[in-house]
Copies of this chain bind each other. A is one copy, B any other.
Amino acid sequence: MRSILKAAIENGKKITMNGKVATYIPELAKGDRDALGVCIFDTDCNIILEGDFNTKFTIQSVSKVIILICALIDNGKDVVFSKVGKEPSADPFNSLVKLEMKETHKPSNPFINAGAIVCTSLVAGDNGIEQFSRILDMMKRLSNNSHIEVNYSVYDSEKLTGNTNRAMAYYLKGANIIQKDVEDVLDAYFKCCSVEVVVEDIARIASVIANNGVAPWSNERIIPEDVNRIVKALMMTCGLYDKSGEFCIEVGIPGKSGVGGCIMAVVPNRMGIAVVGPSLDVYGNSIGGGKVLEDLSRELHLSMF
């Protein structure tokens, strides 16, 4: 197992120079392009770490999974899916076109920015501070790490440059899909994206999902079973933006990527995996991380297909 991971990391490092660190948020541009780390946390609580596993990174869009979990627990699936769709979108993550062309104005799914902003607005709490606090608490429980926190430099950077997200949020407010105060919702959303973690944190979150919503370390149920099923299914169809279909073919398990360079992957009933590598392909997915997961899928027979 360890040698497979070592080889996968080595292979992945060969192509990190083909991608680019995210620059649209200035603070992200400081990421180390050539870093590449991986953590596997299985449902028997075995952990393996390899490569640059100490690399700190912000969770970015991987937080969309935890936001969705909170929104579903707090509202039920009927309410959530009355305001956001369940269908993959072949448009870039920050597209407005689809919002306007669909008669309902609903975002296509919870894993594009517009959909995640809607889900954030649905999380329980009287205001953005309470809503973020609820989501952060869920992240802590799912990762069994009470120390994770917002990276405020990244948060400031997100907030300053988040005008396309702001545009989407006001559009959704105008279409009556977001009821709460837009700036407040965005503030919570930007904080979610800016939470700083390491691969072990994300692998543990993935292991809970792999374990049908029950934390392997405590046997405590954190995610209700039907919520957990929905989350896995949506990760399978919509988890890697415009590359979700290819990931489904080449890796074949539910995944979710973020522009901080992380990809979280769930192997049902077996393990959670997290890779980090800030060098991204044109779709915004970690280029080295994707390669590592392809190798692991092949060597460890992870594909569900």
Contact = CB atoms under 8 A, between A and B. Distances in A.
Given A97-B101, A233-B252, A305-B232, A246 B166 contact: no
Interface stretch (A48-56, A82-90, A139-147, A255-263): A82-90
A149 interface: no
Contacts of A95: 100
Nearest to A253: B304
Nearest to A77: B249
Identify the interface centre among A85, A171, A234: most chain B CB within 10 Å of its CB. A171
B90 A89 contact: yes
A229 B305 contact: yes
A238 interface: yes
A237 interface: yes
Nearest to A212: B305
A303 B242 CA distance: 24
B233 A86 contact: no
A246 to B, nearest CB: 5
A87 B242 contact: yes
Contacts of A91: 90
Contact of A88 (B88, B164, B174, B233): B88
Secondary structure type dominating chain A contacts: helix
Nearest to A232: B305
A237 B248 contact: yes
Interface string A165-192: 0111111011000000010000000000
Identify the interface centre among A163, A169, A243, A305: most chain B CB within 10 Å of its CB. A305
A305 to B, nearest CB: 4
A244 interface: yes
Contacts of A167: 96, 166-171, 174
Interface in A172-227: 173-174, 182
Given A96-B100, A163-B173, A229-B249, A236 B305 contact: yes
Nearest to A88: B88
Interface string A93-126: 0011111110000001100000000000000000
Interface of A: 85-91, 95-101, 108-109, 161-164, 166-171, 173-174, 182, 229-230, 232-234, 236-238, 242-246, 248-249, 252, 254, 268, 303-305
The 7 closest A-B pairs by CB, nearest first: A163-B174, A88-B88, A167-B171, A167-B170, A87-B245, A86-B245, A166-B170
